[in-house]
Amino acid sequence: MKSDILIIGGGLAGLTTAILLQKNGYQVRLIEKKKYPFHRVCGEYISNEVLPFLKSLDIGIDALATSHITRLAVTSVSGKILNANLDLGGFGISRYTLDNLLFKQAEKLGVEFIFDKVNNIQFNENCFSISTSSSKVYESAIAIATYGKRSNLDQKLNRSFFYKRSPYLGVKYHIKTDFPSNLIRLDNFEGGYCGLSKIEEDKYCLCYLSETSNLKKFSSIPEMEEQLLYKNPYLYDVFKNSEFLFEKPVVINEISFERKTLIEDHLIFCGDAAGMITPLCGNGMAIAIHSAKILAESIIHFAKKDSRLNRQALEQDYASKWEKQFSLRLKSGRLIQNLFGNTLISNLAISSLNKLPALTQALVKKTHGEVLA
């Protein structure tokens, strides 16, 4: 079964790429192992840099009662606090809602969705062959991998980052709580940090990143939270005075912030599969959407339907634009993350940044992009 474009993974990057390419006349097939809507581990805060672009996709985001976030607070393990303005700002929306909006728009445009698990990817004679768990084989001249942070496919593709230690796990809840709707707060605990911000309706996203070793010290996630997260007085207050809406948290293991390759044997990576900013910087959703736009534009330019595919020029153009837009932001995120997640260092960092507001704003700016039209 052949198509013009084959996308593996239906997160923000995959869905956005599918919409843009389908609108430009390509026959797009997208393979996703889960059926929409479903929850993902994500901080669920989006920088306003992508808001005009999202509106241009006509997905109905204006009709949602999303939050408008203009302020940032960061707390240390012991409870010291840093406050800052978010000049560009952002908004909160759950992945459950946003992914489903994008899915419905892609489906309306004619994107073909295959709900199955990809087992293998092969490239031979200028064509990709993608095999799935249901023993189906799909073929395409161009294949795009947007399957997220980490997958068994990374091992099969022999991507180098897969073999490096990934010491983090992510945990997400939706809660109801008493908290300012225009604030995103990042609360440190030993070996990790937690983000809290409003999403749609009257719900809040509580999502944290922790060193995996923390969980190994205790018998369960609740015990780890009580023994570590509760030591931050701000987190203690949230956990004790909120209504938790999930029966159990959404959890993901083996989160890697290592540099990743953008192209492997002509398979093009996009979104978190291409590179992930640290959650502390809160712009992973915006980067995934922005990277999808860059990739779609490169494909449209170098894989015109009425002429031969210039694969080398396509790959070089995408890689060059991706590096220009995101490499410094991801590097800055990794460096900033080193200031937090430790009692002593986080206290020193917050005390110092409180005395240097210009530096604080500069650090915030380094992890944000320009408004994407």
Two tokens, residue 100: 């489903």
pLDDT digits (tens, 9 = 90+) for 179-189: 999 999 999 99
Residue closest to 244 by CA, chosen among 219, 222, 228, 227: 222
Say if residue 294's pLDDT is above 90.
yes
Q: To which residue do tokens 């890689």 refer?
A: 319
Decide which of 3.30.540.10, 3.40.50.970, 3.40.50.300, 3.50.50.60 is the CATH code for 2-366: 3.50.50.60
- Mean per-residue pLDDT for 116-141? 94
Using a CB cutoff of 8 Å and minimum separation of 24, what contacts does 121-125 make? 121/8, 121/145, 121/153, 121/156, 121/157, 121/267, 123/265, 123/266, 123/267
pLDDT of residue 152: 83
3-state secondary structure of 55: helix
Q: How many CA atoms lie within 13 A of 349 on its CB side?
A: 22
Residue type, 216: K
- The mean of the pLDDT values for the chain is 88
Task: List, in order, residues 6 or more apart from 362 with CB less than 8 Å away.
Answer: none
* Alpha-carbon dihedral angle through residues 223, 225, 38, 254, given to the nearest 10 degrees: -90
Q: Yes or no: say if 364 and 84 are a contact pair by the CB < 8 Å rule.
A: yes
Tokens found for residue 70: 């203009």
Residue 213 to residue 204: CA distance in whole angstroms: 27
Does 357 sit behind a cis peptide bond, omega within 30 degrees of 0 on the bond before it? no
Q: How many CA atoms lie within 13 A of 71 on its CB side?
A: 11
The crossing angle, in degrees rounded to 10, of helices 284-302 and 311-337 is 170
Q: What pLDDT, on the 0 to 100 scale, is given for residue 362?
A: 66
The CA-based angle 341-343-346, given to 5 degrees, is 65
Q: Any idea where the domains of the chain sit in the sequence?
A: 2-366
Separation of alpha carbons 19 and 28, rounded Å:
9
The backbone torsions φ and ψ at residue 268, rounded to the nearest 5 degrees and listed phi first, read -100, 130
Contacts with 150 (C-beta within 8 Å, 6 or more apart), sequence order: 162, 166, 254, 255, 256
pLDDT of 364 > 90? The answer is no
In this prediction, residues 47-53 reach a mean pLDDT of: 89
CA dihedral over 197, 199, 203, 208, signed as positive or negative? negative
pLDDT of 280 > 60? The answer is no
Q: What is the DSSP string of 197-229?
A: EE-STT-EEEEEEEEHHHHHTSSSHHHHHHHTG
Helix (H) or strand (E) holding 234: helix 233-240
Radius of gyration of the chain (CA): 21
Amino acid at 143: A
Q: By the 8 A CB rule, do 367 and 329 touch?
A: yes
- pLDDT digits 0-9 by tens, 304-355: 765 677 899 999 999 999 888 887 777 776 676 666 666 777 777 777 777 7
Beta-strand relationship, 183-189 and 192-198: antiparallel
Please write the tens of the pLDDT for every residue from 215-242. 999 989 999 999 999 999 999 999 999 9
Q: What's the DSSP call for residue 372? A: P
Mean pLDDT, range 98-109, rounded to an integer: 97
368 confidence band (pLDDT: 50, 70, 90): low
Token pair listed for 68? 């408008």
pLDDT (0 to 100) of residue 253? 86
**What pLDDT score does 306 carry?**
57
